[in-house]
Structure 1
């Protein structure tokens, strides 16, 4: 099994600090960040790249705002992943709202049409080989709803989204 993705909603300015990189080091430098941020946390887990494929039709790329749901944003830890032990991707509040609107306007049935484990495997989607027909409704349908709810709250509250890959 490969990388897993977690999402955290954070105010755009935290404790007077507006710099997303410094905020990331402050938040994710605490070993208890998951427990401390539990109310603002969403775990997509190992299914992150397959979800990106369902939302965009591509393993890595895609147009905004669709691509911002999973892979889009600014990598904050290009040189600092060793410091935190994870990659952190920052999605600014002005990009969170269009992603939230896209999720709200796109029913799961529309993205579920792309669910094809063989095609996902050919595209290089992580863990595509472990997908079966049941995963579409048991894994991705609730995950899609969870992402839509998460982004809706973040957009409503004007929050940034930090995506953690570990």
Structure 2
């Protein structure tokens, strides 16, 4: 099993701090950050790269705003080697809004046609071997719809999104 991804909605200024890197260290430096951030937390888990593939058609790349759903944003850490021990990607509020609009305007049915576990495996999508015929509707559809609601709420509140890979 590979990496898992979590998302956290955070105000663009937290406790008087506006620097995303300092905010990340403040929030994610606490061992209980998941519990403390629970109301604004979304767990995508192991399906992160499969979702990115469905949204963009590529395991890593893509255009904005589609790519911002999973892989886009500013990497605040480098390969989990800093004091946080995880990768943190920051997506500013001005990029959250167009991403939310794209998700709302693009129902799951429009991206579901890309679901092909064999092709995803050949493309190097993490955990593609875990995907079976039912995973599209059992795993990826609820993940996509959950992300849509998550981004919509963050955009409505003018929040940034921090994505954590661990």
Q: Same fold (TM over 0.5)?
A: yes
1:12 matched residue in structure 2: 12
Query: Is the 8 Å Cα contact of residues 24 and 88 (structure 2) preserved in structure 1?
Result: yes
**Structure 1, residues 101-145: CA drift from partner, whole Å, max 9, x if none?**
000000100110000001100110000011001000000111111
Supply the distance in 1 between the matched residues of 2:33 and 2:18 (Cα, whole angstroms).
Answer: 19
* 2:156 corresponds to 1:156: yes
Q: How far apart are 1:80 and its partner, in Å?
A: 6.2
1:105 matched residue in structure 2: 105
2:69 matched residue in structure 1: 69
1:49 matched residue in structure 2: 49
RMSD of equivalent CA atoms: 0.9
TM norm structure 2: 0.98
Q: 1:63 to 1:34 in 2, by over 3 A?
A: same
1:143 matched residue in structure 2: 143
Supply the distance in 2 between the matched residues of 1:78 and 1:36 (Cα, whole angstroms).
Answer: 24
Give the total of aligned pairs: 166
Gaps (5+ residues) in structure 2?
A: none
**Structure 1, residues 29-75: CA drift from partner, whole Å, max 9, x if none?**
00000000000000000000000000000000000000000000000
Q: How far apart are 1:85 and its partner, in Å?
A: 1.1
Q: How far apart are 1:82 and its partner, in Å?
A: 3.2
Query: Is the 8 Å Cα contact of residues 55 and 111 (structure 2) preserved in structure 1?
Result: yes
Q: How far apart are 1:79 and its partner, in Å?
A: 7.2
Q: Describe the SS at the equivalent of 1:2.
A: coil
Could you list the structure 1 runs, at least 4 aligned residues long, displaced by more than 3 angstroms after superposition: 79-82
Supply the distance in 1 between the matched residues of 2:29 and 2:130 (Cα, whole angstroms).
Answer: 32
TM norm structure 1: 0.98
Supply the distance in 1 between the matched residues of 2:135 and 2:79 (Cα, whole angstroms).
Answer: 35
